[in-house]
Amino acid sequence: MTCLRGSTERIAARHLPLGRAPYGPTWRLQKELHARRVAGTIPDTVLTVEHDPVFTVGRSGSRRNLRVSEAVRERAGIPVFEVERGGDITYHGPGQLVVYPIVDLREQGGDVHAFIGALEGAAIDFLADHGVEADRRAGFPGVWVGTRKIASVGVYVRRWVTRHGLALNLAVDRSHFAMIRPCGLDIDVVSLSELVSDPPTVDEAASAVLERLADALRWRLSVGDPSEVWRPRDG
């Protein structure tokens, strides 16, 4: 994987593993950490999480890409959040690794496209290690196995600091994805569990993906205690 930074010197960064958590508190935590990273009071910080079922709609998206009525969605107990990342509608839920890097791009060469490529590359390399050939598709951010999407990427950048990130399908509920047009497209999605006989857990995948991302961003990554910064079930 190509390194974004010109220097080979590693920079300190922190990993906060959130476990299973609802979307709302995690989104608020991203905003709080983003503000602190802009202010320079924390280093680059990356969150990993497995969300409760949720649909999120990006800046260029629309609820029209829900395939079901609001009544059906509400009965399924899946909320919708309209968020500031790029892209259209997507799904997060159990069996999916979500990675939220809070990164100061000024320390990474200031190239947003290269940063997105690093997220995609970390997923592609991880999948290759499990015998799955995945790739990018021009004009469509994310990672694909043939014509099926296995990982989504959506990033927001303000004052050179990122939030949102990567969602990698390990063993998701396809019936939930069937309720939307993912990314506003008529496409199929796939999970790693459909392609290999012994897929890793979300925690195992998080460790492997972050190892590759840390190489690309030249991080010296340490693990922090999430309980110091949030209480995930507070709304």
Which positions ≥6 away from 194 have C-beta within 8 Å? Answer: none
Tell me the pLDDT tens digit for each residue of 113-134: 999 999 999 999 999 999 999 9
Please state, for a pLDDT cut of 90, what percent of the chain lies above it: 85
Q: Which residue has the higher pLDDT, 223 or 227?
A: 223
Segment 94-102 shows an average pLDDT of: 98
Q: What does the pLDDT read at residue 8?
A: 72
- Domain covering 11-220, topology: BirA Bifunctional Protein; domain 2 (3.30.930)
Segment 155-173 shows an average pLDDT of: 97
Per-residue pLDDT band for 4 (boundaries 50, 70, 90) equals: low
Would the pLDDT of 235 be above 50? no
Tell me the pLDDT tens digit for each residue of 44-64: 999 999 999 999 999 888 899
Q: What does the pLDDT read at residue 7?
A: 61
Per-residue pLDDT band for 208 (boundaries 50, 70, 90) equals: very high
The mean-pLDDT minimum among 4-8, 14-18, 91-95 falls in: 4-8
Tell me the pLDDT tens digit for each residue of 171-180: 999 999 999 9
Per-residue pLDDT band for 223 (boundaries 50, 70, 90) equals: very high
Per-residue pLDDT band for 185 (boundaries 50, 70, 90) equals: confident
Please state, for a pLDDT cut of 70, what percent of the chain lies above it: 95
Look over the chain and give the mean of its residue pLDDT values, rounded to a whole number. 93
- Where do the domains of the chain lie? 11-220
Catalytic positions: 183
Beta bridge partners of 163: 156
Sheet with 89-92, side-by-side order of all strands = 80-82, 54-57, 89-92
Closest CA to 109 of 2, 224, 20: 2
Beta bridge partners of 219: 11
Q: Which residue has the higher pLDDT, 189 or 5?
A: 189
Tell me the pLDDT tens digit for each residue of 68-85: 999 999 999 999 999 999
Q: What does the pLDDT read at residue 154?
A: 94
Q: What does the pLDDT read at residue 210?
A: 98
Provide the token pair at 159.
């004052």
Provide the token pair at 7.
């220097």
- Residue 120 to residue 108: CA distance in whole angstroms: 16
Per-residue pLDDT band for 2 (boundaries 50, 70, 90) equals: low
